[in-house]
Structure 1
Amino acid sequence: MTLTLEPILRSAGIDPGQALVIRHAYVREHDTGLSGIHADSTDDEILQYTREQSTDSRRFPTVPPRTWIVFIREGGDRARLWSVLENHGETGHDGSRRTFDLVESGLLSDLRNRLVIGWRSPRTWRLNGTTAADYPVMEIADAQPVPFPGFDRLILDHAHLQAVMREHRYAAWRTALSSVVGVYLITDTRNGRHYVGKADGAENIRQRWNAYAANGHGGNVELRGLDPTSFRFSLLRVFDPATPTSEIDAAESHFKNALDTRRHGLNRN
């Protein structure tokens, strides 16, 4: 059985019936005189290009849906995923062109530049989601590996932490985090309150952080009931796994005192 786009959309929570699918082609300038995009266009340039659409209802829907799934043309019969955008409404109308407030949604972000579908209508540049949902998946390419930035440069929000623990492109990060124990910091960015924690003994940083990726609180009473989407994770100090637990305990206590996380943060002890 051929894999189609539909199950991929639905697994991301996208209803094909409430989505618009666009395939951009590389055209430096259209017949209308408007600038197009090319192979060296930045993401910002492609986003700006997508924001501007025709006022002709035969060319573009009068009331477009909230979700826009944007592909880039590859040959006549293929399209590679660029991004999934949220349409927050029309912001301009000059009689011939409409401008929309579009922002990247994060949906299908792990498949950006990897997912390739067959495009059955080579002259068609936009489709409703239900039509595109039946288009075949031609390829899901291996993700390009992301170099590990170093322990002292690691700052992750919760969504990024989940990606690091799950996606193939972050394999080097997981290897690095598996090689150390130590003391870490969680910051609730809504109010600036800190939580200092540790991974020691048989539990390395990767294992400890994987628990946070899974449920947001990692089993810590202090963090239960808080929204993990506002959490930011970083490392304060890392140790070789052979380091005595007492040394790691002392480092954890030092940072709790230095950051005053018992009185003004999220640590209870």
Structure 2
Amino acid sequence: MLSISKVLQFAGLDISKNIKIARHMDTRGVDVHELYATGHFELYQSYQEKNHFRDCDYLVSCLGIENNQAIFIGVYEVRAINKVNGFPDYLDVPYKGKAKTYSRYKYELKKLSGFEELENRLLIKWESRAQSWCMKFETSEKEIIQLLPKGYVRDFPGYLEINLSFRELQKVIVDPNANNIWHKMLSSVGGVYLIVDTEDGLQYVGSAVGKEGILGRWKEYANNGHGGNKKLREIIELNPERVQNFRFSILQTLPRTLTRNEALIEESKYKHKLGTRAYGLNLN
């Protein structure tokens, strides 16, 4: 068995130090993967309700994913522990009011260099959900399941299980080698797709057919966020950061060989069902 402790030791981690390993996976409506992608994770990690990182020189941090697995994101030096009385009100963060509200400890953490080639690539087995999310590193012996390719986003879940953030969509599109299954599957079908603006819940229904199928259409969204749609363009022009709230999913797959008019008939059915003309982002 190849364990994460052996791999990180080979990469330069001094395992004679007091080390803990943590699998972050919040159940309070907070997406830790989104926090990590948007640069909010390190502050989130530094506040804790219990003194989880006490007697700890280094912290091996991971993000939880499905099937009791985790993805390694870095090693942090624990420089100091400070007692606090809750999370600062003046900080405007995505998890405000959901998590960290009753924090009692604030840790000064510094990310160590030298592990960049392994970050977002080491896939680790975490035994079971009942196992503690934070534990001593030397006793955990977490097994490495896979070293993922650079630029890999996630496994292709099946067409009707897709729910990509805009940032994830961009990563899938720009790195076809690491995400070749996504490119193969999305280019093999047409379909009716849904874009949801998670800030206000408004929805846009569109469709795609032709040579590259859904992939070809979604490449346009990955490029500019709006894909030429008037209402989406207006939203982004008013606030360019708003595009980060968009999520992409597929409502129905269609043969790529359908005519554009045939695809529009299927698209119209979903616009009617979801009310996206009257209450959403579709203008026709």
Deviations 1:31-56 (A, max 9, x none): xxxxx23xxx44339x68998478xx
Secondary structure of 1:43's counterpart equals strand
Q: For the residues of structure 1 that align with 2:118 and 2:214, how far apart are their CA atoms?
A: 27
- Determine the structure 1 residue equivalent to 2:167: 159
Q: Does structure 1 residue 175 correspond to structure 2 residue 167? A: no
The letter of the residue matching 2:172 is V
- Determine the structure 2 residue equivalent to 1:149: 157
The answer (yes or no) to whether the contact 1:51–1:99 under 8 Å persists in 2 is: no
- Determine the structure 2 residue equivalent to 1:99: 106
Q: For the residues of structure 2 that align with 1:248 and 1:216, how far apart are their CA atoms?
A: 22
Q: Does structure 1 residue 43 correspond to structure 2 residue 23? A: yes
Q: Which moved more, 1:198-207 or 1:229-238?
A: 198-207
Q: Which one of 215, 220, 236 corresponds to residue 251 of structure 2?
A: 236
Q: 1:43 to 1:219 in 2, by over 3 A?
A: same
The answer (yes or no) to whether the contact 2:188–2:212 under 8 Å persists in 1 is: no
Q: Which one of 267, 276, 279 corresponds to residue 252 of structure 1?
A: 267
The answer (yes or no) to whether the contact 1:190–1:230 under 8 Å persists in 2 is: yes
Q: CA RMSD in A?
A: 4.3
Q: 1:170 to 1:51 in 2, by over 3 A?
A: farther
Q: For the residues of structure 2 that align with 1:171 and 1:222, how far apart are their CA atoms?
A: 31
| Stretches of structure 2 lacking an aligned partner (at least 5 in a row) | 1-11, 26-44, 63-71, 85-104, 123-146, 237-241
- Determine the structure 2 residue equivalent to 1:267: 282
Q: For the residues of structure 2 that align with 1:147 and 1:259, how far apart are their CA atoms?
A: 28
Identical aligned residues as a percent: 34
Q: For the residues of structure 2 that align with 1:191 and 1:101, how far apart are their CA atoms?
A: 35
TM-score by length of 1: 0.55
Q: 1:258 to 1:113 in 2, by over 3 A?
A: closer
Q: For the residues of structure 1 that align with 2:81 and 2:217, how far apart are their CA atoms?
A: 44
Q: 1:111 to 1:206 in 2, by over 3 A?
A: farther
The letter of the residue matching 1:151 is Y
- Determine the structure 1 residue equivalent to 2:99: none
How many Å apart are 1:205 and its aligned residue?
0.7
- Determine the structure 2 residue equivalent to 1:191: 200
How many Å apart are 1:90 and its aligned residue?
7.0
The answer (yes or no) to whether the contact 2:189–2:255 under 8 Å persists in 1 is: yes
- Determine the structure 1 residue equivalent to 2:74: 83
Q: For the residues of structure 2 that align with 1:193 and 1:254, how far apart are their CA atoms?
A: 17
The answer (yes or no) to whether the contact 2:82–2:106 under 8 Å persists in 1 is: yes
Q: 1:91 to 1:208 in 2, by over 3 A?
A: farther
Q: For the residues of structure 2 that align with 1:91 and 1:145, how far apart are their CA atoms?
A: 35
How many Å apart are 1:100 and its aligned residue?
2.2
Q: 1:160 to 1:90 in 2, by over 3 A?
A: farther
Q: Which moved more, 1:196-205 or 1:180-189?
A: 196-205
The answer (yes or no) to whether the contact 1:53–1:99 under 8 Å persists in 2 is: no
| Stretches of structure 1 lacking an aligned partner (at least 5 in a row) | 1-22, 31-35, 61-67, 72-80, 116-139
How many Å apart are 1:209 and its aligned residue?
0.7
Q: For the residues of structure 2 that align with 1:145 and 1:157, how far apart are their CA atoms?
A: 11
Q: For the residues of structure 2 that align with 1:261 and 1:141, how far apart are their CA atoms?
A: 39
How many Å apart are 1:223 and its aligned residue?
0.2
The number of residue pairs the alignment matches comes to 184
Secondary structure of 1:148's counterpart equals coil
The letter of the residue matching 1:252 is E
Q: Which has the larger radius of gyration?
A: 1
Q: For the residues of structure 2 that align with 1:266 and 1:91, how far apart are their CA atoms?
A: 47
Q: Which moved more, 1:172-181 or 1:145-154?
A: 145-154
Greater strand proportion: 1
